[in-house]
A and B are shown apart, each in its own frame.
Chain A
Amino acid sequence: QVKLVQSGAEVRRPGASVKVSCETSGYIFSRYDINWVRQASGQGLEFMGWMNPKSGNTGYAPNFQGRVTLTRNTSMSTAFLQLSNLKSDDTAVYYCARGGPWIPGDFWGQGTQLTVSS
């Protein structure tokens, strides 16, 4: 069965960086995009970016250009989200999701809570 398992909760200071992992299983990693979506407490879903695991090509939503880097380790079927220059507004749950044609995510990770606080 398709599974996406994310790394655990993180706490960072403002200005720091964080890297979240998303380990996939149950399907061929290179055949589906990995998308990242975040959700602040009590707020809606916000798309951050996408990555094609086969080519490594990436795309980022305008709000995150320059601060987000999406990478992958194909041998481990794992995708990574790195967010830099953290602000308190970045406090949120971060989700990875398996993307399909015109689908932001058909299978989702369990979410990773990031808290940014001084």
Chain B
Amino acid sequence: QSLLTQPPSASGTPGQNITISCSGGDSNIGSNSVCWYQQVPGAAPKLLIYISDQRPSGISDRFSGSKSGTSASLAISGLRSEDEADYYCASWDDNLFAYVFGPGTNIAVL
């Protein structure tokens, strides 16, 4: 049972905007920043967002992150077929002294 909660799945049509939520607690998201990862089948995770709202070089500005209290969100604007993937949130947990990942959200582009 993960300390972070994400919806298992979401879907949208091309061009739509979609938001994925990640809910945690005081010891993780409430005290530390959040990262978001995209993973397609057979590949390693790819960093999309770090420090809750920063994009690494080369990541499209269609991806944006935010954090408020013990929750975080990843927004994808202008959904594209290539956005079909699993998306994971992650945060450091002060009690475990380790990172924790959310269970992942599978995004389908209809």
Contacts and interface: CB of A to CB of B under 8 A. Distances in A.
A104 B35 contact: yes
B45 interface: yes
Interface size range on A against B: 20 to 34
Contacts of A45: 37, 39, 45, 88, 90, 101, 104
B33 A102 contact: yes
Interface string A88-109: 0000000101001011111011
A95 B88 CA distance: 15
B98 A47 contact: yes
B44 A111 contact: yes
B98 A102 contact: no
Interface string B69-110: 000000000000000000010111000111111111000000
A104 B90 CA distance: 8
Given A44-B88, A45-B88, A62-B96, A103 B35 contact: yes
Contacts of B90: 45, 47, 104
B102 A44 contact: yes
Contacts of B44: 95, 108-111
Interface in B26-52: 32-33, 35, 37, 39, 44-47, 50-51
B88 A102 contact: no
A107 to B, nearest CB: 8
A60 B47 CA distance: 22
Give the residue among A37, A44, A59, A60 with the most B Cβ atoms within 10 A: A44
A105 B45 contact: yes
A87 to B, nearest CB: 19
Interface string A29-61: 000000101000000111101100000000111
13 contacts: A37-B101, A45-B101, A45-B104, A46-B101, A59-B97, A62-B96, A62-B98, A95-B44, A95-B45, A103-B47, A105-B45, A108-B44, A108-B45
